[in-house]
Amino acid sequence: MSSDKTQAPSAAAYTNQVYPPNTPGYPQAQPAGFANYIVQPVPVTTITTVRTKPKSYLVPAIIVTLFCCLPLGIVGIVYSVDSSSKFDRGDDAGAASSARSARSWTIAGLVCGIVIICVNVVLRLVLFSTYYSDYDY
């Protein structure tokens, strides 16, 4: 069995080698074909867009739904949630439009609920007074 050992290259083979510039422990000569370049920083323009989220009227719509007028309050809730989701998608104009619709439906439900409550109170008072007016105390 013969053993083949590879020999390391001699020191003469390393004398013509090119080293990267400014590497510690190596010659600092600039290799041929390389040039020094000064790179200027490029100005960066940053555009910041300020977006304001429109008021969604979710809480008033829920209160109107619970205490005043259920159908109109539910429509207000639907438009309120739609306004929030449109703003999250980046549709600012659509979010503002849905917020206005939510406000309108919520106000309509509030007015309708107040009218229904007032009519109910008046009818109860009229019926109560006519029912008990027949009796003498």
Question: Which position has the token pair 């009818």?
Answer: 123
- The distance of Cα 125 from the centroid of its chain, to the nearest Å, equals 51
Listing DSSP states for 69-96 in one string gives: -HHHHHHHHHHHHHHHHHHHHT-HHHHH
Dmax (CA) for the chain in angstroms is 137
Tell me, what amino acid is at 93? Answer: A
**Tens of pLDDT, residues 47-91:** 888 889 999 999 999 999 999 999 999 999 999 999 999 999 999
The string of pLDDT tens digits covering residues 10-60 is: 666 656 666 555 656 655 555 566 666 677 788 888 888 888 999 999 999
> Could you give phi then psi for residue 112, rounded to 5 degrees?
-60, -45
Q: What pTM did the predictor assign? A: 0.61
